[in-house]
Every structure is written in C-alpha cells, then in structure tokens.
Amino acid sequence: MSESAEQLAVNVLVLGAGPGGYVAAIRAAQLGQTVAIVEREYWGGVCLNVGCIPTKVLLRHAEVAALVSRHAKAFGLPDGVTADFRAAHERSRSVAEGRIKGVHYLMKKNGIRQFAGTGTFTSDTSLTVTTADGPIADITFDHAIIATGSEIRNLPGVDLGARVTGYIEVVLSETMPDSLVVIGAGPIGIEFACVAASFGSNVTVLEYQDRILPAEDVDVSAELAKALKKLGVTVVTGARVVSASDTESGAHVTYDTAAGETTEIDTDHVLVAVGFSPRLEGYGLDATGVAVTDSGAIDVDAQLRTSVPHIFAIGDVTGKLALAHVAEAQGIVAAEVIGAASTRVMGDYRDMPRAVYSSPQVASFGLTEAQAREELGDVLVASFPFVANGKAHAVGETAGFVKLIANPTTRTLVGGHLVGPDVSELLPELTLAAGTGTTIDDLIHNVHAHPTLSESLQEAFHGLAGHVINF
Ligand code: NAD
C-alpha cells in the first residue's frame, strides 16, 4: 500500500479498457455494481486507437482511391485524379480520437471510476495503479475482469525496426511506402495489402500456408486471390520467411519457397502480420493465482470464470477468438454472471461472425465446407454469385458470392462464406438463423427488399432447398 495513493474499494475491477473491458464495465455498472476501470494506454483498446476503426477509415479511403483511379472511366470521373494518403491518415486519426472520447463519455455517464495508468495485481483481491509519477491508487475488489488483450507475435529471424514493423506503425504512418512486403496472409496482412495497393504501393504478400486466409473456406481464399491479383498485389504462398531486417534505405527479406529455393526481396517497408498472443505479462497475474492454459492463454470456463472463482477474463487474453465483438459478448456474459448471478454461457466460438475488410470484403461464420463434410458427412451446399445480383451491378462491384452450408437432417445452417461488397453487413441474418435453428424451408419465405445485396442470401436459401430462382 502506498501512502499518497487513493484507497478505493469496488465491487468490480476491470483491467483493460478495450472493447471487452469497457463494455463489461458498463454492463456491470448498469447492474448496480460499483466499478473501476484501469487502462495504461488505449482507451477503447487497440480496436478504437490503432486497429479496427482507424483501419476501416483507411480502407474506405482505399475504396474511394480505387474508384477515382482504376474505375474513373466507368463512373464518368475525370482521369488522372489521385487520392492523397495524408488525408486518409488525418481522417483516420480524427475518427479514432472521436471514438476514444466516446469511451470516456460512456464511463462517466455510467458512474465508472477511470484510472489512467498501469494496473498491477498485488493479490487476488487488490491491484495498484501506477503512472510515471508513482502509484496513484490502491484498489480492492470483490470481482475482477481481466481484459488485457494480446500482443503481436514475431518470427525467428525477423528483426523489428523502423522499417520492419507490426501493424501499429503502419496505421500511424503519415505516408504509404512505395513498396511493401506483408508477412502473413491472415486478416491483418490482407487488409493492409488492399489499402496499400489501392494507394499505388507495390505490394508482395508472403504466406506460409498454401493459400491466403487459410482459416477460411477454400472458395473464399481462391476468390480473394483473384481480387488481389486484379489489385496488382503479388501473392506468394508456401513462403517460409527466414529473415527480415532494416537496411540503410529500406528493408530486406529472405524467404524459402515451397520448392526449397531461397529468394530475397528489397522493399521500403515490411509489415509482420503473423498473429497475436494473449498478454500474460506485465500486470502481476502471478499474484492472483489465476491458471493459464498450455497454449499460453488465461484458462476460462463458458461463463469466463478463471480458476480463481471471483476473477473473470475476457477478450484476446482468453485465446478463444481474437475479435472485438467476441470480447464484447464475453464482457457482457461476465458482467451479468457477476452482477445478476446469470446462468448465461458463451455459445460455440465457431459460430461467431468473422469479417475481413478487404476489397472485396470477406464475411463468414460456422463451419467451412471441408469442416462440415468432416463433421457431418453429407451436407447441403449452395452458392450464388454477385454477378447475378442487380444491386451489385448498380454499385459496380460484382465479384464474389454467397456460399451457404446446411445440415441435411435438421435443414439448418451450419456455415456461411461470403465474398463481395459490404458482405459483413449480411452476416446477422445468417447467425440469427443458425442460432435459432430456423430451417431453410422457413428462410426461403423471408422476403428480402429489391434491389439489395441481401437478395443473394435469399437465392442461396432457395439453392439449399434445391431451386435457385435468378441464376
Ligand atoms: P492470423 O493468425 O490470423 O494470420 C497470420 C498468417 O500468417 C497466417 O495465415 C499464417 O499462416 C501466416 N504465417 C505464419 N507464419 C508465417 C511465416 N513464417 N511466413 C509467412 N506467413 C506466416 O494473424 P493476423 O492477421 O496477424 O491477425 C491477428 C489476430 O487479429 C487474429 O486473431 C485475427 O483474427 C484478428 N484480426 C481480425 C481482423 C478482422 O477480423 N477483420 C482484423 C485484424 C485482426
């Protein structure tokens, strides 16, 4: 205990103000708990500061850039207009700052005490908050929710430096490099490849697996690979990166190809996007006695309770599915279990919506076709291409498709895989149908407005039932 520090006792202490932590804090406060939240750097988390939100602004600018350059003629726009990346950078920062202010507003509105500093557990019921000037608060709590997120993973042989960085440095950069090598073709690598290429950067993506977005359905990977090629992105699959480091004027990357040849590339910048690891260090986790899994995440049950029953963990630190909306959903369950003795549990993480904000977008939930065949044997599969959808033609984006997979016995959806314009907006109908067990025979009668992209879902429902109408 430090003498000058504030002494405070609360019902619920939340460590980390990312999308999981701040939402859990609000829900706990709504349920009548006294709540304190501690954040050392990013109010709103990586998501609002340097992740989902600012990157979506950059992606929107990338789409506009593509419109005024590659598609100018089709839309009757003057030739030779170029989009200024600095404007994209400035707007992405101002949108992020606005959203961050919104988080502070919500904390205040809900009577939540905010502490800006590093929180360190000193026992399983106490935590100290420290700033550069020393300890500012000693907080005791009945319950804690750990929402400390994750950190970027690196590869052996890759020396991070000024020009070999993770995504944060790229998001915060005021300029777009003339050439960019992206290591890893997961969501982060693919999203940045699309932004950089749309602003005219010469982009090479190196992916270790045999296809991009290897966690997605194979048809999705193939469709997006075609789109990247059109954008001018070079994709090398089966590429094992051996080394990457800064040089005097840029960066140098060495990788082995699937055929065993060693290849070298000189580039202006290297983005390392090979995944995240749950953050377990730097906040006194040992002092709580909370157990971690063999794979290095905080071990939680379906109600997000750790091995110490009054301590919960949510978000990336649980190693379940590192997505902002999953953290939020976990935060609400944890807060309701604490504040209302709720019996709610998290559903199957595989059924959570997933999206990659590439050009065109990718959206999915549930099982891929290969997983569904392995688990169920026989499955119903139907696809509908956006080239047969009127609205897609009107907006001038006809690449992609809707692919749905259903269980032939229950006739309910088990997976959905979409590539196309704004397809992430189409997921809720599918996840609701799957979650409530709505059959394809009912789904075909759910009337969709014309002309909309969502009509492609209705067509795919008809396809599952054996009778596509417009294709
Ligand atoms: P990821 O784990 O999703 O993908 C990393 C990719 O790197 C994989 O395809 C992997 O095969 C490849 N890789 C690994 N080692 C390699 C090597 N030596 N050489 C070449 N490639 C290699 O990681 P990510 O894209 O960095 O994303 C991190 C986390 O953030 C993920 O959990 C992701 O779901 C989440 N995220 C999601 C979104 C979104 O949904 N839109 C956006 C950003 C981040």
Note down pLDDT in tens along the chain; length 471 residues. 566 899 999 999 999 999 999 999 999 999 999 999 999 999 999 999 999 999 999 999 988 888 888 888 889 988 878 888 999 999 999 999 999 999 999 999 999 999 999 999 999 999 999 999 999 999 999 999 999 999 999 999 999 999 999 999 999 999 999 999 999 999 999 999 999 999 999 999 999 999 999 999 999 999 999 999 999 999 999 999 999 999 999 999 999 999 999 999 999 999 999 999 999 999 999 999 999 999 999 999 999 999 999 999 999 999 999 999 999 999 999 999 999 989 999 999 999 999 999 999 999 999 999 999 999 999 999 999 999 999 999 999 999 999 999 999 999 999 999 999 999 999 999 999 999 999 999 999 999 999 999 999 999 999 999 998 888
Residues 17, 117 within the same domain: yes
Q: Given ligand 1 and candidates 204, 207, 220, 358, which is best to mutate, with the most ligand atoms within 8 Å of its CB?
A: 207
Structure tokens at 194: 């699309």
CB atoms within 10 A of CB 382: 20
Read off the tokens for 448.
Answer: 């969709």
Edge-first strand listing for the sheet containing 234-237:
164-165, 269-272, 179-183, 202-207, 234-237
Residue 335 gets the label, from left (phi > 0), alpha (psi -120 to 50) or beta, of alpha
Give the type of residue at 419: V
Which of 259, 274, 289 is a domain's end point?
274
Q: Are 223 and 419 in contact (CB under 8 A)?
A: yes
Same domain, 254 and 281: no
- Residue 388's CATH number: 3.30.390.30
- The CB of 214 under 6 Å from ligand 1? The reply is yes
Residue that is last in its domain, among 349, 382, 412: 349
Q: What phi and psi, each to the nearest 5 degrees, are found at residue 459?
A: -65, -40
Query: Which residues are known to be catalytic?
Result: 450
Nearest ligand 1 atom to alpha carbon 188: 25
Is the pTM value of this prediction over 0.75? yes
What 451-455 contacts at long range (C-beta under 8 Å, 24+ apart), as own/partner pairs, is 451/389, 451/390, 451/391, 451/394, 452/391, 453/386, 453/389, 453/391, 453/392, 453/420, 453/421, 453/422, 453/423, 453/425, 453/426, 454/426, 454/429, 455/389, 455/390, 455/391
Dihedral sign of CA atoms 445, 449, 453, 454 in order: negative
- HSE-CB for 197 with a 13 A CA cutoff: 23
Is any ligand 1 atom within 6 A of the Cβ of residue 155? yes
- Say how many domains are in the chain: 3
Q: Distance from the CA of 440 to the center of ligand 1, in angstroms? A: 33
Question: Does ligand 1 come within 6 angstroms of the Cβ of 357?
Answer: yes
* 339: CATH: 3.50.50.60
Domain boundary among 274, 296, 323: 274
Domain residues for the domain of 37 are 6-51+89-151+277-349
